Amino acid sequence: MAALPYFDEIDPSMIDVLLITHFHLDHAASLPYFLEKTTFKGRVFMTYPTKAIYKLLLTDYVKVSKVSVEDMLFNEQDINRSMDKIEVIDFHQTVEVNGIRFWCYTAGHVLGAAMFMVDIAGVRVLYTGDYSREEDRHLRAAETPLFSPDVCIIESTYGVRQHQPQHVREKRFTDVIHTTISEGGRVLIPVFALGRAQELLLILDEYWSTHPELQNIPIYYASPLAKRCLSVYETYLHSMNDRIRSKHAAKSNPFVFKYISPIKSIENFKDVGPSVVMASPGGLQSGLSRQLFDMWCSDRKNACVLPGYLVEGTLAKTIINEPKEVTLMNGLTAPLNMQVHNISFSAHADSAQTSAFLEELLPNNIILVHGEAKEMGRLKQKLIGQFADRNVKIFNPKNCQSVEMYFNSQKMAKTIGRLGERTPEVGETVSGLLVKKGFTYQIMAPDDLHIFSQLSTANITQRITIPYAGAFSVLNHRLKQIFESVESSTDEESGIPMLRVHERVTVKQDSEKLISLHWSSDPVSDMVSDSIVALVVNINREIPKVVVEAEAIKTEEENGKKVEKVIYALLVSLFGDVKAGENGKLVITVDGNVAELDKQSGDVVSENEGLKERIRTAFQRIQSAVKPIPLSAS
């Protein structure tokens, strides 16, 4: 539990997409927990080979883990369930989720390892995961993306350290082994079961085939898991490099080794004379590699070759400093006499690769992750020097420390269809629908909506009939008292009289006892029709009432007050702190920014442009809501 990432610090339900770069446990092992035991509801993506090996690896992990059942974070069923939720993505394939687009590039490192490029509203973020820029025996080197990302989140495992050239490392590796076994010693190579081990096997097999004198020396590889993963390696050849593919094309399976034999456990291993054994785990914590280490560590003829990155706190990291004695698994101490070599094949980028990669990418922001703090700090200093003359920001955040960057992305919209027929001059107004899909914007006329999107518009025509027994002319008179625009005419077909109120609502006398109202739905027309309906109902109910003129004047005054009240109330609901200032102005304070609003002219005075704009628009909207209905419907 303590080894989980700091999931407490985030809200899993807020995450849309989860991307897994490769199958190594430090990158994927808490996935079943995260998918099954948290509130995460987003989508998960990884490459085909990663998904296939992920399952094998984690299932194995659950089986061998010595934790008691109660302490287990997830079991095999959780892994199987997680398989259904994981979606696959092929290299370079672009996937879009909620407007977020992402795709991945080959990262080297291990089979199926990917670097993800995520594009959110035009801001591109590259996450390298573990990557290597060196082509090896079976994997391609990491690609250089075509586009320069705005942010590059890059691993810094090796910090400012430099790898030896590949052939030098290989030569050291094979030389150590060759010398040791020719002197009658045994070679132990502790490795992680999958990934780099395959590369070492390829190297050993090749070396044996070119050195016939070694061919009677056995090489053992103790990993049933790797054997199970073999079919994955055989199938996803297209994720590997051309060397492997050409071997496959030449009909020899590159992963069927001639000089390497598998063993299951220490019981199956006959320790008679020189041999080479590759065994997991890579850190010599326990398991077969540790058992062999305990057996062999006191003999100075033997050698231990540590080919991977050495994690702090493991025995592997300890013995690299060549202590005189080591503690065995049974608690006894034994002298450490065997030779210990650390020849790194871990396929992480070194300092030179990182520099060169960033030089090609030229991101505006670099975020260093995945590395020891000290080493990362040194790398940061080096990069600051490298990019000193350019405007590049470099961050090395600690866990849970968020890095904030601001991008002034320019939102571009395309005006299309009827609205786009003519490019407007400066100062003209453009009115239409702004349609946003993902992160693209289009402006169009309402009538074009169904052409350019799957949305459509509708007109709702309403027809309501009301019993009305009175004379039509009375109705006409009463309507004219209330509404400014009432036109009377007769229907051309039937010859019945009709009235048109505010060019919106048509009132017809359908028969002696019924009138009907016709209008096309929109808020204003609905309101007009409602008041007509109310009027008609009133006429039906009572005899005409004399309207007192004085009342009307008073109403106007009252209306003025009412309007102010409404405006005030609405502004308070929008901005909170609104006070009456001098000269009938309103003083609005938001987050310490002060603005003054002139209620008559609608002018806003403020030092903060954004606030000024917001108040102005809000005020305009409020005004249009409380103002009388305009005469025409246009």
Partner 1 sequence: MGTSVQVTPLCGVYNENPLSYLVSIDDFNFLIDCGWHDHFDPTILQPLSKVASTIDAVLLSYPDTLHLGALPYAVKQLGLSAPVFTTEPTYRLGLLTMYDQYLSRKQVSDFDLFTLDDIDSAFQKVTRLTYSQNHHLSGKGEGIVIAPHVAGHLLGGTVWKITKDGEDVIYAVDLNHRKERHLNGTVLASFVRPAVLITDAYNALNNQPYRRGEKENEFGETIKKTLGAGGNVLLPVDTAGRVFELILILEQYWTDKSLNYPIFFLTYVASSTIDYVKSFLEWMSDSIAKSFEQNRENPFLLKNVTFLINKSELDNAPDGPKVVIASMASLEVGFSHDIFVEWASDAKNLVLFTERGQFATLARILQADPPPKAVKVAMSKRVPLVGEELIAYEEEQNRIKKEETLKATLIKEETKASHGADIDASDPMVVDVSNTHALPDVAGPHGGGYRDILIDGFVPSSTSVAPMFPFYENTFEWDDFGEVINPDDYVIKDEDMDQTGMHVGGYLDAKFDEGSTSMMLDTKPSKVVSNELTVQVKCLLIYMDFEGRSDGRSIKSILSHVAPLKLVLVHGSAEATEHLKQHCLKHVCPHVYAPHIEETIDVTSDLCAYKVQLSEKLMSNVLFKKLGDYEIAWVDAEVAKTDGGTLSLNPCSTTAPPHKSVLVGDLKMADFKQFLASKGIQVEFAGGALRCGEYVTIRKVGDASQKGGASGPQQILIEGPLCEDYYKIRDYLYSQFFLL
Q: What is the DSSP letter of 403?
A: P
Question: Smallest distance from the beta carbon of 417 to partner 1, in angstroms?
Answer: 7
* Residue 348: active-site member: yes
Question: Smallest distance from the beta carbon of 404 to partner 1, in angstroms?
Answer: 18
CA distance 327 to 48: 42
Question: Smallest distance from the beta carbon of 472 to partner 1, in angstroms?
Answer: 17
Q: Please state, as a whole number, how many other Cβ atoms lie within 10 Å of the Cβ of residue 197.
A: 25
Of the residues 24, 27, 163, 348, only one is catalytic, namely 348
Question: Smallest distance from the beta carbon of 430 to partner 1, in angstroms?
Answer: 5
Tokens of 10: 């985030």
CA distance 128 to 141: 13
**377, 352, 190, 200 alpha-carbon torsion, rounded to 10°:** 160
Question: Smallest distance from the beta carbon of 548 to partner 1, in angstroms?
Answer: 29
For partner 1, the closer of residues 79 and 306 by Cβ is: 79
For partner 1, the closer of residues 243 and 393 by Cβ is: 243
Coil vs helix vs strand at 573: helix
**370, 371, 373, 379 alpha-carbon torsion, rounded to 10°:** -110
Question: Smallest distance from the beta carbon of 466 to partner 1, in angstroms?
Answer: 5
CA distance 54 to 31: 10
Question: Smallest distance from the beta carbon of 237 to partner 1, in angstroms?
Answer: 5
For partner 1, the closer of residues 311 and 455 by Cβ is: 455
CA distance 446 to 456: 9
On whether the CB atoms of residues 507 and 479 are closer than 8 A, the answer is yes
For partner 1, the closer of residues 445 and 499 by Cβ is: 445
> Which amino acid, residue 9?
E
Residue 253 main-chain phi, psi, to 5 deg:
-80, 115
Q: Please state, as a whole number, how many other Cβ atoms lie within 10 Å of the Cβ of residue 20.
A: 22
In 3D, which of 295, 291, 303 has the Cα closest to residue 272? 295
Tokens of 300: 């100075």
545-574 burial string, b = 16+ CB within 10 Å, else e? eeeeeeeeeeeeeeeeeebeeebbebbeeb
Question: Smallest distance from the beta carbon of 517 to partner 1, in angstroms?
Answer: 9
For partner 1, the closer of residues 165 and 576 by Cβ is: 165
User: Do strands 151-155 and 123-127 pair parallel, antiparallel, or not at all (unpaired)?
Assistant: parallel
For partner 1, the closer of residues 237 and 316 by Cβ is: 237
Tokens of 131: 């990557």
Q: What angle do CA 258, 264, 266 make, to 5 degrees?
A: 115
On whether the CB atoms of residues 507 and 462 are closer than 8 A, the answer is no
CA distance 596 to 586: 6
For partner 1, the closer of residues 392 and 524 by Cβ is: 524
Radius of gyration for the chain, computed over Cα atoms and rounded to the nearest angstrom: 38
For partner 1, the closer of residues 90 and 372 by Cβ is: 90
The catalytic residue positions are: 348
